[in-house]
Amino acid sequence: MKKTDKGILLITLILVGIGLIMVYSSSAFSSLRVMNTSTFFFKKQLIPLGIGVVLCFTVSKIDYRIWGKYSYLILGITILLLFWVLLFSQSVHGTKRWIRFSNSSLKWISFQPAEFAKLGVIIFIANFISRQTDGPLRRSFSEASGQANHSASGGLYTQYVSRRINFVKFRGLYLSIALAIVFLLIALEPSFGVLFAICVTCLIILFLGNFRITWLLLIFAGVFGAGFLLINHSPYAKLRMANFFSHEGYQLRQSIYGIGAGGLFGAGLGNGKAKLFFLPEPHTDFIFSIIGEELGFIGCAIVSVLFLILLIRGIKIGIRQQADKFGFLLAVGISFIIFVSAGIHIGVTCGILPITGIPLPFISFGGSNLLSNLIGIGILLNISRQRQRTEDR
């Protein structure tokens, strides 16, 4: 019998609920001043939420394996959209993150390709790695090369070695190039927060996909080096790094003040002061600071622990689905992209990570982020159902 993981659903609903309340609380004052109505952002958030719930439900009905089948197409579309946003969108605060449709019938509809790229990349890597039946460098990858199963006989050792080299030469290169393109496009927007989250998640997927440690260290060094170069060549990022290390950044200071001022129980919903002119964009990249000030340590702890529980449940789903490596990696990847994003957001707002704009999954204002996360949950729910089906057999 099909059975969805109700725990994941419940946690998601709780987080989305907290999100709606906090979006209202953190944006009411500024939207009243600017838009003459306190519910501007709140209402605007309801539309993607509605779409997101429908998509989540729909996706949970779709067999997740279909995503693996179309992973190249998905990555292709992702790359196209990322190109599109760089070439044709207008920049907002010096960044090009949004594709906007603003003709009369589609007024104010915009989305961030980078948010959807998260899913695209995870699906792609999960599929890619799972195509090697066993560990990528130890065993043959007959499935991927389209050959029929053959028994592991010593006579075929040479063939095996040559194929391994083949893989290293071509498939590994292929993966690296694909990811490098995506990462570079996101870095050019720039959208370092999302990029950071994707990188970390990719490394985790590779690690759990039984990649060799030496390889991982190489990749890690590559990513770290690229990151260092990026930061050094982007004045925007450089300033933020400098701010982080000197602890003088205005936003950072305000964010820490806000969280600290919350105390154990917080000032109460709507009573936060940091959102009153002090924290820019309190309803997006600093919403955790508002949670800290208004709901206190208790609110913060509940929210951050909920993300941890979500992660653990997601990994559990993955492990139960380990018979299908794609399913396992997809479940783990989705769980981690949510947890890592949340971790970066919380880490930034309470000053343990350098400032980078990243929304808190399910909670921050922003349609693309909410949509992509809800779709991710939908996929996760489907995997949990598949697990039941597998066991039933």
Positions that interact with other proteins (CB under 8 A): 29, 133-134, 139, 204, 207-208, 210, 256-264, 270-271, 273-274, 276-278, 292-293, 296-297, 300-301, 304-305, 308, 311-312, 315, 319, 322-323, 325, 328, 332, 336, 339, 343, 346-347, 350-352
Least CB distance from residue 114 to other proteins, whole Å?
A: 23
Q: Which is nearer to other proteins, 23 or 279 (CB)?
A: 279
Beta strands 109-111 and 99-101, pairing class: antiparallel
Least CB distance from residue 351 to other proteins, whole Å?
A: 7
Least CB distance from residue 74 to other proteins, whole Å?
A: 23
Least CB distance from residue 29 to other proteins, whole Å?
A: 8
Rounded Cα distance between 354 and 238, Å, is 10
Q: Which is nearer to other proteins, 78 or 364 (CB)?
A: 364
Least CB distance from residue 179 to other proteins, whole Å?
A: 19
Q: Which is nearer to other proteins, 165 or 305 (CB)?
A: 305
- The residue among 315, 344, 343 whose CA lies nearest residue 328 is 315
Residue 212 to residues 122, 202, 219, 225, 290: CA-CA distances in angstroms?
19, 14, 11, 20, 42
Least CB distance from residue 201 to other proteins, whole Å?
A: 11
| 322: its two tokens | 């380990």
Q: In which residue are the tokens 């370092």 written? A: 192
Q: Which is nearer to other proteins, 12 or 30 (CB)?
A: 30
Burial group, residue 302, by CB count within 10 angstroms (0-12, 13-18, 19+): middle
Q: Which is nearer to other proteins, 4 or 133 (CB)?
A: 133
Least CB distance from residue 304 to other proteins, whole Å?
A: 6
Rounded Cα distance between 176 and 196, Å, is 16
Q: Which is nearer to other proteins, 173 or 352 (CB)?
A: 352
Show the beta-strand stretches assigned E in 42-180: 99-101, 109-111
Do the Cβ atoms of 344 and 353 come closer than 8 Å? yes
Rounded Cα distance between 119 and 310, Å, is 17
Per-residue exposure over 59-68, b if at least 16 CB sit within 10 Å of its own CB, e if not: bbeeebeebb
The dihedral over CA atoms of 232, 237, 240, 246, expressed in degrees to the nearest 10, equals: -10
Per DSSP, the three-state class of 26 is helix
Burial group, residue 169, by CB count within 10 angstroms (0-12, 13-18, 19+): exposed
Least CB distance from residue 366 to other proteins, whole Å?
A: 22
Q: Which is nearer to other proteins, 89 or 289 (CB)?
A: 289
Do the Cβ atoms of 374 and 337 come closer than 8 Å? no
Least CB distance from residue 240 to other proteins, whole Å?
A: 19
Q: Which is nearer to other proteins, 22 or 274 (CB)?
A: 274
Q: Which is nearer to other proteins, 116 or 336 (CB)?
A: 336
